[in-house]
Structures are given as structure tokens and as C-alpha cells.
Amino acid sequence: MSEHGGSGLRKETTADPAPGPEILVEQLHKSFGDNHVLRGIDLEIRQGEVVCVIGPSGSGKSTLLRCVNLLEQPSGGRVFVGGSELTHPDVDIDAVRRRIGMVFQQFNLFPHLSVTENLALPQRRVLGRDKAAAGRVAAENLERVGLADKAKAFPASLSGGQQQRVAIARALAMGPEVMLFDEPTSALDPELVGDVLAVMRMLADEGMTMMVVTHEMSFAREVADRVVFMDDGVIVEEGPPAEVIGNPRHERTRHFLARVLDPAAAQVEEGMPPVDKRP
């Protein structure tokens, strides 16, 4: 990870010949019983690209993300990461997953292990690194997310934002080529969101390929190369943030953004009493 350059890297790479897609989803379907959650999703994400997936609850965003590394088994279609087909019956799924970092809404840290041990254990178990090497990589990535001083701390002593940054560092310590984020700030108090988003901005500046399910419209507007709006299991529209968020083409997108960007106005529109802003 340390070989990536500074904040200008992503702009410089746009002049190079376009590489093949780092993530490729073809006609992806997913059903839970009679509930058809994903209805033929086609999506490409190129190396170094940051794609934010937005949409209402129940639209299939998180299910799509979880299908990309087969935490959910698709009902139909194909998924490729780095040219390897995860949905092929003979794929070594563990080998492909080593190239994918995943950050969830919840932090999923081991409470009985220190921060360093939380980062070192997966390296030792999955990558076969010895204790010293795993410790060095853990220290490097804790420094990257601004938590070098918390190396010996235990998760219970950290704020939610700090725990999520540890979870990001744990994923980075595995050396992934792709990072998947499933609403990583949704469980945080508002004042803790900024530090997590700052780490994600850093990764974007370094050229990390990222697929981010998020409700943080400011992050999507500022950091994403492309925004994908989903509703009812399909991609309604996608494009640069200035188009999808700033000037959406579809009424479904416009309605969603109106509710997210101005919830009080949405309440009035639906006949509910306006929010009382008096102290």
C-alpha cells in the first residue's frame, strides 16, 4: 500500500490507457425466497476508481456489495474481481477474497484482543506472516489511519469512530487490491463521522479501488468518480456525482435526493407537520 503516491495520483492515471475492470458484475440476480432483491445488475468498476452506491433502504445496495465477495451467493449472473470469476464453480474463493478488503457497518473487533492483535491475527492466520512481520504491518496501517497511539488499547476504550478506523486498518493490513465499504459511518454518532470519511478520502487519493455503499452525500459528491443510484433491485442511473447528485435525470433519483438532502421539506411534502426548530 505504501507504494501509492500522493493526492494527485488518481488524476494522473486518467491519462493512461484504461485498464480492464477491477470489479465486473454481469446480470446479477439475488433472491431471498420470493423476494427478488437484485434484478439483473450490470456494473463495472475500473482500477483506482471510487464508486459510491446510493439509494433508499431495501433497494439492494448492501446485497450487491456482499455479492461482490460472495458473502451472499448470487442466484444468477457472474461476478469478477481482478479478472477472476468468483461465481465460477471451481474458483478458489479464499484466494480471491484475500484481494478484497471489507468494512462493515459494525466494527467486528475482538474485544479481548488489543488493537495491534486485532490487526495481526488475520495476517498470521490467513497470510501466514510471523508475529514480527504482522506487528510491523499493523503498526504501519494504524499510523495511516491516525491511531498509532492506540496500538496497545482495547476496543472498549475506543470511540465508535476510532473502532471503525481500526477496522479499516485491519482490512488494509491484508494488502487488498479492492476495498468494499458497507455504510461504514451509519452506526456512528454524527461528530465521529468526519474522521472515518477522512481516512476514506486518503485511500481514494492513494488510488485504491473502492466500492462504497453510503448515505453520506457530501462524501459521494466530493470523492466519488461515479455515483450509482439503485432502487427496487435495479440501477436507475449512474454517472459523475455532478450529474447524478447535482442534476439527476430520473424522477426516482430526484425524489430520493430531495428526501435525503432536505428531510424537513420531505415531511411537509408528505403532509406531515414540519419539524419544530424552536429551542
Distance CA 4, CA 2 (A): 5
End-to-end CA distance of the chain: 48
Q: Where are the beta strands (DSSP E) in the chain?
A: 21-32, 35-46, 50-54, 76-81, 84-85, 100-103, 178-182, 209-213, 226-231, 234-239
Please give the pLDDT value at position 98: 87
Distance CA 213, CA 236 (A): 15
Contact 219, 54 (CB under 8 A): no
- In which residue are the cell numbers 464453480 written? 89
Condensed to tens digits (0 to 9), the pLDDT of residues 39-57 reads 999 999 999 999 999 999 9
Please give the pLDDT value at position 20: 72
Q: Residue 117 has which C-alpha cell?
A: 492483535
- In which residue are the cell numbers 494527485 written? 8
Q: Which residues of the chain have pLDDT under 50?
A: 1-15, 17, 272, 275, 277-279
Condensed to tens digits (0 to 9), the pLDDT of residues 43-93 reads 999 999 999 999 999 999 999 999 999 999 999 999 999 989 999 999 998
pTM comes to: 0.86
Distance CA 42, CA 77 (A): 9
Query: What is the DSSP code (8-state) at residue 16?
Result: S
Provide CB contacts within 8 A for 243, sequence distance 6+: 249
**Length in residues, the chain:** 279
